[in-house]
Amino acid sequence: MDVTLSTNPRGTPEWIPPADLRSTHVHLVGIGGSGMAGLARLLLQHGAGVSGTDRCASPATEELRRAGADVRYEQHPPAIPAASDVLVASAAIPHQHAELEAARSRDLPILKYARMLGVLLDRYEGIAVAGTHGKSTTTAWLAYTLRLAGLDPNYIVGANCDQLGSGSATGSGRHFVVESCEFDRSFLNLRPASAVILNIDEDHLDCYRDVAEIEAAFASFAGQVRSDGYLLCSGDCERARRVAAAARTRVETYGLRDDCDWRATNVAVVDGRPEADISYRGQLFGRVHLELSGRHNLSNGLAVAALAYEAGADWPSIARGLGTFRGAQRRLEDVARVNEVQVVDDYAHHPVEIQATLAAARERFAPQRLICVFQPHQHSRTRFLLEDFATSFSGADQVLMSRIYFVRDSAGEREAIHASDLVERIAAQGGDAEFLPEFPDLVDRLAGQVRSGDLVITMGAGDIGKVAHDLAARLRGNLPG
């Protein structure tokens, strides 16, 4: 097994993972992140000793403590137990972090999260879900469907899902379903047996020069699928089709185009949700009505059907999975309906996602007025995609904007762009937009203006969901005005 795992320029010892992880202690820096917490849960379930640090307590870290992990909230060298065999760092942890520096001084092997995930994936029939958008939903949906089919998969998802019970789990089956992120080229640490490329768009331009470089990374990912494996790609996405040519394995397509292997035809919207006939190379399997809304989720569901079928699931189980999956948390999540005002929360933070989510929300809830409360995520993303963001809110009647959620960016990036710049661009295109940086002010404004028939949707990858829940409490009379 290829495990040259050190990230230290001076060199730290190579870590050879033992066959039995019960003899291993793993220390995770940034243990509370969605992927890192899932990895920690899996390691605990494999019997490994687990410790970790994060900046503050969260439901995820408290759950890990209850499960047996030693979690601390001081990120300094003494937090690394003497018994540690390897240190795993989140992609968000800087190279100069005090715990990483201490690990280097101790010659303790250091892995990034994605590399450790790749080590675990090599023990199973790995199924990697990649794409700029829709990864969490599709990964959770596939794990759920394989469970219904009795295949009891292992999985790790970058979002919580009520129907799965948690963001990760070990199962008795041979499959391991993983969300595979392109940020920092993390997915190039994986060598799955099967994979899907859902879509490819401009994003993470803080670590990619342009969309051509993003395509090149996805092409490398396609080339890493095992030669005896299976690559599925969206036939409706030209970039996905192009990069699939780099694969050394069997390739199939899915989508609405006539030349796709897996197709959705006779598409309709019934009760705000899509339904369609599903066929494979001309063979009709059946008609399904999704629980999820939006044309993008019909595409995601088609990918789930193809991957589940390839993994050995039967069609009745696949159809049940497609028709009963309610989604991952913060994906058009129904927060409350109070006095005929609908409050919804969503994770969308990219222009393509915003457009798709607003369209799906209109189909599902048919509001008289749609108010979008948006929290931009990352200064560099906002700056690079400013014009695309400005046009992406055309499906909203009003946009209220909070300040940009800070992630990874330099002080220079923070000064180069402000949320008010995006508000100005939206207004210049004829949109109704206003900058209200503080959450309490957003809740006050919304509580004072919403009326029967309104849909309020909070949107962003940060902590904007708090506004949705506080608004719902205010409307119920549980939160002081």
CATH value at residue 78: 3.40.50.720
Range of the domain at 174: 124-324
pLDDT tens digits for 434-478?
Answer: 999 999 999 999 999 999 999 999 999 999 999 999 999 999 997
Identify the helix (H) or strand (E) that includes residue 435.
strand 433-435
The number of distinct structural domains making up the chain is 3
User: φ and ψ at 303, to 5 degrees?
Assistant: -65, -40
109 plus 250 within the same structural domain: no
Q: Does any domain span residue 1?
A: no
Say which CATH number the domain at 358 has. 3.90.190.20
Which of 324, 352, 367 lies at the terminal end of a domain, its last residue?
Answer: 324
> Does position 253 have pLDDT exceeding 80, yes or no?
yes
Q: Does any domain span residue 10?
A: no
349 plus 384 within the same structural domain: yes
Angle of the 135-148 helix axis to the 295-311 helix axis, nearest 10: 40
Mean pLDDT for the stretch of residues 246-260: 97
What pLDDT score does 130 carry? 98
What pLDDT score does 408 carry? 77
User: Per the structure block, which two tokens stand in for 453?
Assistant: 């028939």
Which of 61, 86, 113 lies at the terminal end of a domain, its last residue?
Answer: 113
- More confident: 307 or 160: 307
What is the Cα gyration radius of the chain?
A: 22
108 plus 170 within the same structural domain: no
Q: Does any domain span residue 3?
A: no
Which of 81, 113, 145 lies at the terminal end of a domain, its last residue?
Answer: 113
338 plus 470 within the same structural domain: yes
**Of 118, 137, 310, 338, nearest to 232 (Cα)?**
310
Look over the chain and give the mean of its residue pLDDT values, rounded to a whole number.
93
Mean pLDDT for the stretch of residues 136-145: 97
Mean pLDDT for the stretch of residues 172-200: 95
Q: Does any domain span residue 61?
A: yes
User: φ and ψ at 70, to 5 degrees?
Assistant: -95, 100
41 plus 149 within the same structural domain: no
**Taking the C-alpha atoms of 83, 87, 92 and 95 in order, what is their torsion angle to the nearest 10 degrees?**
110
Give the other-Cβ count within 10 Å of 279's Cβ: 16
212 plus 172 within the same structural domain: yes
Identify the helix (H) or strand (E) that includes residue 352.
helix 351-365
User: Strands across the sheet with 333-338, in order?
Assistant: 333-338, 341-346, 454-459, 369-374, 398-401, 433-435
Q: Does any domain span residue 51?
A: yes
Q: Does any domain span residue 13?
A: no
Say which CATH number the domain at 169 has. 3.40.1190.10
35 plus 128 within the same structural domain: no
318 plus 373 within the same structural domain: no
- More confident: 167 or 449: 449
Entry pTM: 0.90
174 plus 316 within the same structural domain: yes
199 plus 317 within the same structural domain: yes
106 plus 160 within the same structural domain: no
pLDDT tens digits for 4-50?
Answer: 344 443 356 788 888 889 999 999 999 998 889 989 998 998 899 99
- More confident: 417 or 479: 417
251 plus 172 within the same structural domain: yes
Mean pLDDT for the stretch of residues 254-276: 97
Mean pLDDT for the stretch of residues 383-390: 94
What pLDDT score does 6 carry? 40
Q: Does any domain span residue 86?
A: yes
Q: Decide if 29 contacts 7 (C-beta within 8 A).
A: no
What pLDDT score does 12 carry? 63
pLDDT tens digits for 347-377?
Answer: 999 999 999 999 999 999 999 999 999 999 9
User: φ and ψ at 62, to 5 degrees?
Assistant: -70, -35
Q: Does any domain span residue 159?
A: yes
